[in-house]
Amino acid sequence: MTDLLPVPTVAHLPRYDGARLGEPTLDTWQLAPHNRWTFSHVDEFVPTVAIARRPATEIASGTVGIESLRAEIPGLDRRLATSFTDAFVVVQGDVVLADHYREGFGPDERHLLMSVSKSICGLTVGTLVDAGLIDPAKRVDHYVEPLTGTAYGDATVQQVLDMTVDVDYDEDYRNPASHVQAQDRVAGWRTRHADDPADTYAFLTSLRGGGAHGRMFRYCSAGTDVLAWVIENVSGRRYADAVSEQLWSRLGCDDDATITVDAGGFGFANGGISCTARDLARLGRLMLGGGELDGRRVVSAEWVRRTMAGGDPAAAAGSVFQRVHPGGSYRNQWWATGNDRGNVYAIGIHGQYVWVDPPTDTVIVKFSSWPEPVTEEWNRLHAELFRDVCEAVGTAVGS
């Protein structure tokens, strides 16, 4: 590892160079001098929607190459329909074996990834570790001074990556009083309360904990945003730009991804990224390629190896996750099943998946719109579906 560069002392980066008269807000973004920048960044202040390249009535639905999977997996169409599938893509090597979309949703459309976004953040951290800009063994407050004295300040970057930080955070998606709903409000995803922090930077500085880090797996969405703040400070780039430069632009994707931003311009790293299914499959291809894709080295083989090997299963003992995947663990913002196939995956609430199957060199991407955020049964049903698909792919390859 090379010597670490000096860490910037600014609390966080401005939205644009030269924002000397205060940061633009919802009330000032149309005024000079901010409008020289904001008029080309309107989607940071007002919700936007894409103007599609073709009418929705012309979006093709159906399948490409899924017939062979139907033959091997009885009831596949029913399983996809009853699990609220929006997109289902199976890629083996460089070949798309299945490409299925619900009616009204097409291959060129982006879909919200929810917490699959966390795994993108983890890989971005990996590229900066490779570059010598982040040392996972160092404390978070070495990189983000405003987090000193918070739940995350004295945790190491690796503990944040593995979600073993002792933090008081309620991840109950249905509880209006939970931390995760408060963070949604701050991110602009829900109507704000009068006493909510101004932005995600301020929200993160409000979190407290017991300081007993590294002992127990504690799933906490805020940790990914802490990592994003670290990324910003060491790269000198806003999170969206850093992900673009370090990861997305190097994957050979066909389309831009997007990310939601809050009132302070902070990219919602833990759940706000959207992209197409085929582009997301390239993330899984990167993992199976040991950090290399189409002859390009994106992240080190060692980072991918450690990620796919998983973390400490004992840290997740007794979790709902291990009721589905006994011996499973969490490492570098990815889930490791600990099963006989060595499957690792990224997951987001309401049914977003990247499933990686090393024995068959296969990646499965599934976009969904489950009515519930997450349940043990939904996770179990999808693990069974993905295993059946991978076994069918293996049978086809062996025949």
β-bridge mates for residue 297, sequence order: 292
**CA distance linking residue 265 with residue 269, whole number of Å:** 12
Mean pLDDT, range 70-74, rounded to an integer: 88
DSSP-derived secondary structure for 85-142: EEEEEEEETTEEEEEEE-TT--TT--EE-TTHHHHHHHHHHHHHHHTTS--TTSBHHH
Given a cut of 50, whether residue 369 has pLDDT beyond it is yes
146 upstream amide cis, omega within 30 of 0: no
Listed in sequence order, the DSSP H helices in the chain are 35-38, 67-72, 76-82, 116-130, 140-143, 157-161, 179-186, 200-205, 222-235, 239-246, 277-288, 301-309, 320-324, 376-398
Question: Which residues are CB-neighbours of 204 under 8 A, at least 6 positions away?
Answer: 147, 150, 152, 222, 225, 226, 229
Q: What is the pLDDT of residues 139-154, one digit of tens each?
A: 999 999 999 999 999 9
Between 285 and 38, name the one with better pLDDT. 285
What is d(CA 369, CA 112) in angstroms, rounded to the nearest whole number?
A: 10
Average pLDDT over residues 96-123: 93
What the block records as the tokens of 75 is 């009831």
Q: What is the mean pLDDT of residues 286-299?
A: 97
Of the pLDDT bands very low, low, confident and very high (cuts 50, 70, 90), residue 318 is very high
Task: Encode 89-112: b = buried (16+ Cβ within 10 Å), e = exposed.
Answer: bbbbeeeebbbbbbeebbbbbbbb
Question: Residue 3: what pLDDT?
Answer: 63
In this predicted structure, the answer to whether residue 7 has a pLDDT above a threshold of 80 is no
DSSP-derived pairing of the beta strands 344-348 and 334-336: antiparallel
The one-letter code for the residue type at 360 is T
Band (pLDDT 50/70/90 cuts) for residue 2 is low
The rounded percent of the chain whose pLDDT value lies above 70 is 94
- Whether 323 shows a pLDDT value over 60: the answer reads yes
What is the mean pLDDT of the segment spanning 311-333? 96
CA distance 265 to 240: 10
Pairwise CA distance, residues 297 & 291, whole Å: 6
Rounded to an integer, the average pLDDT of 95-110 is 91
| Residue 337 confidence (pLDDT) | 98
Is 206:186 a contact under the CB 8 Å cutoff?
no
Q: Please choose, from the candidates 326, 327, 333, 329, the residue with its C-alpha nearest in 3D space to the C-alpha of residue 347.
A: 333
Give the whole-angstrom CA distance, residue 322 versus residue 95.
32
**Beta-bridge partners for 125:** none
pLDDT of residue 399: 46
Cβ–Cβ < 8 Å for 185, 192: yes
- Confidence band for 18, pLDDT divided at 50, 70 and 90: confident
Phi, psi at 132, each rounded to 5°: 80, 15
- One-letter amino acid identity for 141? D
Question: Which backbone phi and psi does 45 adopt, to 5 degrees?
Answer: -125, -25
Share of the chain above pLDDT 90, in %: 78
Handedness of CA 331, 90, 348, 74 (dihedral sign): negative
Question: What positions carry a catalytic annotation?
Answer: 115
